[in-house]
Chains A and B, each alone.
Chain A
Amino acid sequence: MTDIHATAGAPPVDAADDASRRMPMPSARTLLVTAVILGWLGLWWAAVVHLDVSKDFLPTPYEVAHRILVLAYEPLGAGTLWTHAAASLVRLLSGFAAAVAVGMPLGLLMALIRPVNHMVTPLFELFRYIPPIAWAPFAIFWFGAGNNAQAYVIFTAAFPPILINTFRGVELVDKRLIDAARTLGARAHTIIAEVALPGALPYVMTGLRIGLAGGWMALIAAEIVAGTGSRDGLGYLILQGQQSLAADLTIGAMVLIGIIGTLIDIVLQRVEARTQSWRH
């Protein structure tokens, strides 16, 4: 509560800028974000304590954090917190890698070769409106309940945005740049590698970010629905919390999912900024 007031009553923007100029770390923005998060946590805590909420209904932030910390050294199911997070990340990356390996070349071919576009588009339009989780039972038919089925569900979530953005990006590359490359003697492979792909990169990066975020969200669903048999993953933790009526575990796993998702996106933003230094 107090934190929120402190933020609201903070000095005007120019003063905050001034502060950020004097202090190299942490920046004004980081401080603001931290203050806002602390404010919400405070609100949560105050609500639970003042309204005397049952622990099974909504635990305090402290209880949630404590449960997660315990999980960091005390195994549950297949292992500790790290085992579960790593299991989820491995599934995410394998599904995502497959989506990149199929989506990017296909998007590129669709943009470059019209018949490919005509053939793939109707199928793709159908495909992309099927929610990833609807694939889960089918994925189990094909791959059996386990990592591959889960990776496939992630694939279905990450694939459409990667394909669409690659396609759009390549299609929107300035045709005059392609003409310029051709008059300088460039052949198809050079044009693809040095003009089409770098030109499409901003779009491709956006597609990767959306795809990875979508894949991460689909993963948890996949672990809950298609995860029968495996005893690891953050989705498994959520399910365990539900089955043992441990709200602190379920919420803790959810918070972790949010944190890891944010971290992944931050990494990708860094990569994006680095690959596009020429834009600034």
Chain B
Amino acid sequence: MNNLQSLSYYYPELLLTVVILAVIIYDLFLKSKDSGKVGWLLVFGLVAVSIAIYVQDDGITTTLFTDAIVLDPFSSFFKMVIVLATILVSIFSLYNDELNDYRKGEYFTLLGIVTFGLFLMVSSIDLVMVYLSIEIVSIMSFVLAGYLKQSTRSNEAALKYVVYGAFSSGIMLFGLSYVYGLTGSTNFFQIQQALSSSDQGASTAIIISVIMILAGFGYKVSAVPFHFWTPDVYEGSPTSITAYLSVAPKAGALAMMIRFFNQVLADGGAMAGLGGVSTTDLPWANIISLIALVTMTVGNVVAIQQDNVKRMLAYSSIAHAGYMLLAMPVMSGDGIYAIMLYVFMYLFMNLGAFFVVITIKNKTQGESFDDYKGLGWEMPLVGGVMTLFMVSLTGLPPTAGFIGKFYIFASLINGGESFYWLVVAGGLNSVISLYYYLRVVKVMYFEGERKETILFPSRVITGMLVFTAIPTLILGIYWVPVADWIENSLVFFIQTI
């Protein structure tokens, strides 16, 4: 579809652009201490964007802007997840005391632009768009990670993020240049066609370039061995940004990986609900199985040793990236379905856990385990929802985390005997994670002095905590609406060769 026709299918993104511009302009009229008001403008704008996505999502599958991006229910699903995460994080940012000394206009503008970049990320089918969207998201995230200009921890986070981010996207770009040279195109479908008809001579070159490309994807989902930035960046950034980075860019990168691996390195059968077959001799499915296994093991084992709750959650988010990647090599519709369900469940439980960290930091000014002592009795609501999030992150019933993990393991078992060992490894990892998640609960309820006073957070914070806690609980018991929604979203734009 040409550029002019495409615009009529592009209204959610156009609306988002208008919202971003409105945020910038509105900020000009505000005094520094009132600048939080732009956050509400962004929130209302994003609600409008989500309505636009909902209206648009009626099963259209087409390419836009002369085959640069696609519009299909799969991308609409991820756009919804991303917008929801941005709305929740924006509201909570307004109540994050770390940001009080700073002007918030740029913060919300950048958050809007990251959302726009993620929209491109979930719908790109061209190597140029893949690189461009990763860079849009990365560059804005560098600034957001270092937003607390006076805090040396935040400075350090930004420096590490920028060095690792630029480095891994550079390596990815070099890999992309070889893919372009080998296949003569930047379009996913044409690359797939060229790969499946090429002789085996190009195989080594393809393996090298795919490993280089994995560096870029691995960095975005923070998979081992590209995870070194994660703990430091997550610990140093403003906690609201940590929450955002642990959910939205991960969802975007997973969507991009699903498209890339199933559409370029496999015949796309998984996207049509059939079993996929790899187009090259490249053992990429085994490589990803191995990465997923190492990622969840490293994340869980290192998380045990942490004394800082925020850092512990950073390692836990590495482990969860591993669980999500588990279903990638199955190359079936089931696997993609399981990843989408997991992302949706993970959104609520992980954001909720970080929101609790913010609430407690506002009160105690600290985020180590010592600062959590006895808080379960002093702040009953916060203690209760934190216990729920920790149980859900472990993957115990009756919570959303259990359903997410159940579908991941089910897709592996349906995938055949060669995946059984991954199920065993995933199960063992869940047991390890039980130790450090429940340590938070133990510290909150069984350590420190029990105080007589009972504190409740402010009304909006309470509302937000309950809003993330309810889906975490309800979706563990009744997840049919979400399952139906994902079932309907499992429609891709596929070009027949």
Determine if chain A interacts with chain B: no
> Which residues of B are in contact with A by a Cβ distance under 8 Å?
none
A interface list, Cβ under 8 A from B: none
